[in-house]
Chains A and B, each alone.
Chain A
Amino acid sequence: MRINCPHCGERSLDEFSYLGDAVVRPDPASPNAQDAFYAYGYERANVAGPMQELWYHAAGCHAWLVVTRDTRTHEISEVKSAQEVALARQKVAGTAQ
C-alpha cells in the first residue's frame, strides 16, 4: 500500500503510522460528555468499506493526514492534511452558531 502525502508525494506504507478512526473528539463541555467519550474511546465502528482514518507521516514530513481508505480493498480515494480538515470543521462549526 502506498499513501500519497499531500506534502511529500507518494510514499511507501513503512513511512507512516496508523492511529485509527478520524472521528472528531467529543466536546468535553457538552452535557452528555461522559457517554460521548465512552463511545469515542470504546465503541469502535468496524467499518467494511470506505472510512476516514488518521495516519502520521512519521518517517517523512511529520504531518497528520486524514486518509479515506476502503477497508476491504485498501483502495485510497482521498488524502488530506489533518490540519486542513480540522480548520474546515471549525469553519463549519463557526457558521452553524
Chain B
Amino acid sequence: MSELANDIKKASLEASERTGLTVTHIAARRGARASLDDVARTAFGVSLPSSPKAVEAQGALIVWTGPDQWLIVQKDETGLDHYAELAKTFNGLASLVDVTDSRTIFRIAVSRPSETLLRSMGIDFHDNSFRPGDVAITHVSHLGVIVWRLPDGTAYDFACARTYSRDFADWLRKTMA
C-alpha cells in the first residue's frame, strides 16, 4: 500500500485515491473551437462544455478546466491507449497533454457534502449551489484544486498536482476529522 493510501486509511475517510485512469488535458487551438466541438460530438456524442460543467460520455468524463480547456478522464482498458486515441481524434484542432502522472484525483464518495467539508471550501459548496455536474477551479489551504461533482451526484472528485497530494490528503484528514 502506498504511503498516501495508508494515510487515507489511517484517517478512515470516505475518500480514496482514484487509480487506473488516463487523464488528458486538451486546449482548443486558436479559431478551432467550433470544429473541435464537431469532432467531440462525433466521438463522444456531446458538446465540450463551455461553462464550469462536467459531462459523462462514452465512459469518459469531460471536465471544463477554463475557457477552451478540458480534462478528459478515462478508465484504463487493456490494449487501449486513450491518450493516443484522443491525439488522433483531435489532431490539429487541440493541443493535448497526458497529465495522468502529474495529477492525483481523490474521490469523496458522498452524495451531499458534510458540514465540515462545506465550511472548509472557499466557494459556495452547498448542495443547492454546487449541483451534480458542476465544476470549480479553486484552492484549499493554498493548494490548487479542480473539484467536480459527478453528474450522477454520487461523489465529489478533487484533482490536485501530484506533488501536493500528501498535503491535500492532510487537508482532507483535517477537514473530515
Contact = CB atoms under 8 A, between A and B. Distances in A.
Band of interface residues on B: 10 to 19
Given A9-B52, A11-B138, A59 B67 contact: no
A20 interface: no
B137 A8 contact: yes
A63 B66 contact: yes
Contacts of B137: 8, 59-62
Nearest to A81: B67
A12 interface: yes
Contacts, number: 33
Given A12-B122, A59-B144, A7 B138 contact: no
A61 B66 CA distance: 5
22 contacts: A7-B51, A7-B52, A7-B66, A7-B67, A8-B136, A9-B52, A11-B138, A14-B122, A14-B139, A15-B122, A15-B138, A15-B139, A59-B137, A59-B139, A60-B137, A60-B138, A61-B65, A61-B66, A61-B67, A62-B137, A81-B67, A83-B67
Interface of B: 51-52, 65-67, 122-123, 136-139, 144
Interface of A: 7-9, 11-12, 14-15, 59-63, 81, 83
